[in-house]
Amino acid sequence: MQRAAANQSLFNAINNKLSETDRTNIDALFRVDKELRTSPWNELKTDAPKATIEGLRELLLRYDQLSRIHAEHGGKNESRFMWRHFKTRRTQVFRILSKLTFVATSQDQSFVQALAFVLANKHRHSDWLRLGSKENDILTARDLDWIPDKWWVLVTGETKRNNTPHRLNRRALEVCVCRQLVQELKSADICVPGGDSYSDTRAQLLPMEKCTETRAEYGELVGLPVEGKSFVGHLQTRLKEVAESVDRGYMANSYFTITNDRPVLTKLVKKPLPAGFNAVNKALTTKSPDHKITGSQFISS
């Protein structure tokens, strides 16, 4: 009787927190393969005294397995489902990537090498590509630090990042590189020289010689010292002054509070748009050309 009461209490505690849809789903999830045997969940649901310790242990084990599956496939980990959408456009994507020139804007060349590795193996049909082989010496295991955590297992087959991979899943690597290329272009870590939207922003910077010539004049205009030590000292003084000013006036700042001994800065209230803003914005949008092509290098080969 005590076991029946305990089992019934356990079932009620779980069942009462589920919606009707969730109850139907959990019944389906805990079906067993053998037709002559019910699952521990159904035993707990229909005949509380029948539920045994072994049955409850199996129920918890199956729940743990389902939790692991959800952790791997659920949330925002859409990585393993992207290949079937990518493969229909794979040929066109690689044709475009082969026409463009991608350059890293920093000293880190690992992603550019990964992209070159993918393009060099675009005609392969094998599931795995080995690292360190003579034909695949473009990429090494040290060049894979850019791979996001949610892609690591799919691309390398390794569950831990400190394990050195010796092979890469070709399909997962192709999708991962193309997905990451979008982020690299948006952050300007990768550029397309001569392109329209993603050209090299470093070309817009003044040459160092020009900066050196105008440094003293610029310092006078903005009121900043241009020598190293004096510049650092000036910034330290300004930071100290600003900090002291904040300490003196934070009580009058309606956006700043201290909650549970922690400072909290709330969002500023959005100011209304000035009169005529929408009309000006519409006029600029209408007259400005709309560029939707990443670059023009691939138009003609």
Q: Which pLDDT score is estimated for 267?
A: 86
Token reading at 29: 């999830």
Does residue 50 register a pLDDT over 80? Answer: no
Range with top average pLDDT, 46-50, 57-61, 102-106: 102-106
Is residue 301 predicted with pLDDT exceeding 50? no
Mean pLDDT of the chain: 80
Using an 8 Å Cβ cutoff, are 200 and 103 in contact? yes
What are phi and psi for residue 130, nearest 5 degrees? Answer: -85, 140
The tokens describing 129, both together, are: 């590509």
Eight-state DSSP code of residue 87: G
Backbone conformation region of residue 38, classed left if phi is above 0, alpha if psi is from -120 to 50, else beta:
beta
Q: Are 181 and 115 in contact (CB under 8 A)?
A: yes
Distances (CA, A) of 74 to 14, 137, 158, 254, 255: 22, 36, 20, 40, 37
pLDDT band at 296 (very low <50, low <70, confident <90, very high): very low
Mean pLDDT of 36-64: 56
- What are the Cα distances from residue 269, in Å, to 256, 258, 266, 278? 13, 19, 9, 20
Q: Over the stretch 171-224, which tens digit does the pLDDT of each residue have? A: 999 999 999 999 999 999 999 988 888 888 888 888 888 888 999 999 999 999
Looking at residue 2, its pLDDT comes to: 56
Sequence-distant (6+) residues with CB within 8 A of 157 are 165, 167, 169
The full set of domain ranges for the chain reads 2-73, 84-203, 208-265
Amino acid at 281: N
